Structure 1
C-alpha cells in the first residue's frame, strides 16, 4: 500500500475485528491510519478516553473527513475496553498503568502499537533491551510494585513478538540498529507517512498568513527547561509569528504568549499534523524537540517547507532533565535551528 512500508513478516490480513484505546489526539490519528493500512481487520472500534478536550475536538475534526470504512469512534468514561481473544488490540500508550494491567489478563489475537510521541522509540529500546527491562516512562520514579508491572508487561509484549502477534506502527524514523533488534524479537515494524491524512481535504484549516510558525512545547510545564529562557527566545524571534500551542502547555505561559506583540496564537486543539499540512514554500516551522517535527517533515517535505528543530542550549535545561533524557528528546533533531 502506498505510504506504508513493512518488513513483510507476520502481515495482518483483513479479517477479524479490533478494539483501540487512545488517550491523545496523535494516538487517535494513528489509529485511523492503522485501519487505513489494513492492520486492524475490516472493523475497528476506536474508544477515546473521556473528558479530554483535545480528543473531543480531534474526534469532531475526523468526523468531518472521509474515515476509512469499518471504523467507528466512541468515547468512554476512562474505562479501558478489554479486547476479546479473537480481537486485534490497538493501543498507543504502552506505559500506561491501566494498559499494562489489562495486558496481563487479556489475550487478544494480536497487538498493534501506534505512535505516542517519542515514547514509542523508548518502548522499542526497552523491548530490545531484553528480559528484565521494565516498561516505564523515561522520567518515571517507580515503586517496586510499578516496576514489577512494567517487567511483567515487557515479558508479555516480547512473548507476543516471538509468536508473531505484535506490530509496531510508526511514522517515526527508527534507527537502523534498533529496527533490526525489534524485528529480531519477531515483531513486525510498519512505517507510514500518513497516507490517509494526506488524501483528505485541508480546507477546514486554512494555513496561517505568517511566514514563521512556532510549535509550542510541554518541556516548560514538565519542568525540563527554564520558562524564562524559552520565552526570551520566543519573543526575540523576528515576527510576525504564528504560534501553535502544545496541548499540555501551561495556561499562564500561553497567556503571556498571547499578550506579546507580533505573535498570533492558533489554538485549534487538534494535532498540528492536521492543521499545518497546507503550508507553502516561503513558510517555515520552528520547534523544540518533539514528535511533531518528524511527522511534519514527512507531510511537508514535498511542499518544500522546512521544519527546523531548535537545539536546546545547556543553560535551558533544569536539573530534572538527565543527560540520557536530553539525548532521547533530541535524537531526531535534524535540520536544526540555532536559538
Structure 2
C-alpha cells in the first residue's frame, strides 16, 4: 500500500466522501489526505458532519468548496470519485499527480472499468448521455490520460463492488491496480448517530424512476403492496413528488437521513431485513450486515417495469447486484 506523500480528493456525493475516507484508512491515498467536497450538493454537508463526529483516520481533513476544484500537485496522490465529471476531466488534462485513485461512485465505477479496458478511443461519457462533439473530445482525451496513468502504474481503483473475474483480469492487464475493500473503517466505528428503525422491513429507495428507467406506477404499486409496517430510506435523487406519495401512505415511515445507507443501516438487528431494487448499496450492505444475520434482498425487476430507456446492457449491469438473496 502507498503510505507516503500527501493526497487531495475531490468528491461530489456522500458515497464518494465515505469511500475517500476508507481509501485513507486502507493506505492507498498517502499519509495525509485533504478531502474537498463540492458545495451545495444534497447530503454532503450532513455526511461530512457525521464523519467528523467519528474517529477519522489520521491525516484526514475534510473541507467544502463552493465551486473551486482543488488541483493536485506534481507529487500528490489525486483521489476522485467521478471520472465522468467534465470538471474532473478538464483538470486531468493538465494535472500531473504522482498517483491517481478512483473511489466508488455507484454503478459508474464498473462502467469506467469496462470503458478503460475497451477499444482505444472510447470517450469517457456517462451512460445514456447525448454528448456534443466538444464533450466527446474531452471524454476521449481524459480516457487517454487515465490509460497512460495505468500503463505507468499510477492508477488505482478502490472499490467495494463485485468486479466480474473476466473484467478484473482485463483491468489488471491494462496496468490498473484494483484494490477491493469491505468498509473496514466504517465497521470499526460506533453506530451512534442513527438509532435503528423500529420496523422489521427496511426498503431502500431508488433513482430508477426519476431517471426514467422504470415505470413509476409499477414501482409504487409494488411498494404499497408490501406487508407493513415499512421503513423507507429514500435515494438522494428521488423525485420529491414520489417521495410525498410514499410519505402519505399508511404503514410507511420515511427516514430522511441524508447520508449513505451504509452509515445509517449498519446497526440493524437479526429479525430485520432490507429490500432493494438492484443497486450498488446492496453489495455494501451485505458486507456490513451479513455478520449480524440481517438479509439484504434484491427485488427482481419484472420486464414490464422497464421503460424503453432501459437498454439491455444497462439491465445487465444492474443484474450484477442481484445475484444473492433475490426476492420476487
User: 1:150-161, aligned counterparts within 5 Å?
Assistant: 150-161=139-150
Structure 2 residue 100 is matched with structure 1 residue 105 = no
Aligned to 1:256: 245
1:83 aligned residue: 72
| Count of residue pairs the alignment pairs up | 328
Q: Which runs of 5+ in 1 are unaligned?
A: 1-10
Are the aligned partners of 2:20 and 2:103 in contact in 1 as well (CA < 8 Å)? yes
Query: Contact conserved, 2:42 with 2:236, CA < 8 A, in 1?
Result: no
Deviation at 1:148, TM superposition (A): 1.4
* Partner of residue 3, structure 1: none
CA shift at 1:280, angstroms?
1.2
Q: Which residue of 2 aligns with 1:172?
A: 161
Q: Could you say which residue in structure 2 is the equivalent of 1:7?
A: none
State whether residues 278 and 298 of structure 2, in contact with CA within 8 Å, keep that contact through their aligned partners in structure 1. Answer: yes
What residue is the counterpart of 1:270 in the other structure? Answer: 259
Q: Which residue of 2 aligns with 1:310?
A: 299
TM-score normalised to structure 2 length: 0.98
Matching of residues 1-339 of structure 1 within 5 Å:
11-12=1-2, 14-339=3-328
CA shift, 1:320, in A, is 1.3
Task: Give the aligned CA root-mean-square deviation in angstroms.
Answer: 0.9
Is the CA contact 2:204–2:275 (under 8 Å) kept in the aligned structure 1?
yes
| Whole-angstrom CA distance in 1 between matches of 2:27 and 2:74 | 19
What is the CA deviation profile of residues 202-245 of structure 1, one whole-angstrom value per residue up to 9, with x for unaligned ones? 12111111111000001111111111100000000001100000
Partner Cα distance (1:260, 1:159) in 2:
53
Supply the distance in 1 between the matched residues of 2:224 and 2:214 (Cα, whole angstroms).
16
In structure 2, C-alpha distance between the alignment counterparts of 1:335 and 1:184, rounded to whole Å:
28
- SS in structure 2 of the partner of residue 129 of structure 1: coil
Rounded Cα–Cα distance in structure 2 between residues aligned with 1:291 and 1:189: 17
Q: What displacement does 1:336 show?
A: 4.4
TM-score of the two chains, using structure 1 as the length reference: 0.95
1:321 Cα deviation from its structure 2 partner: 1.2
Deviations 1:257-281 (A, max 9, x none): 0100000101110000000001111
SS at match of 1:277: coil
1:325 deviates by: 1.3
Q: Distance in 1 between matches of 2:244 and 2:269?
A: 28
Distance 1:176 1:337, change over 3 A: closer
Check conservation: 1:83, 1:107, Cα contact below 8 A: yes
The separation in 2 between residues aligned to 1:198 and 1:314, in whole angstroms, is: 37
**In 1, Cα distance between the equivalents of 2:60 and 2:324?**
36
Contact 1:85 1:107 in 2 (8 A): yes
Range moving further from structure 2, 141-150 or 164-173:
141-150
Unaligned runs of 5+ in 2: none
1:337: how far off? 3.7
Give the secondary structure class of the aligned counterpart of 2:120.
Answer: coil
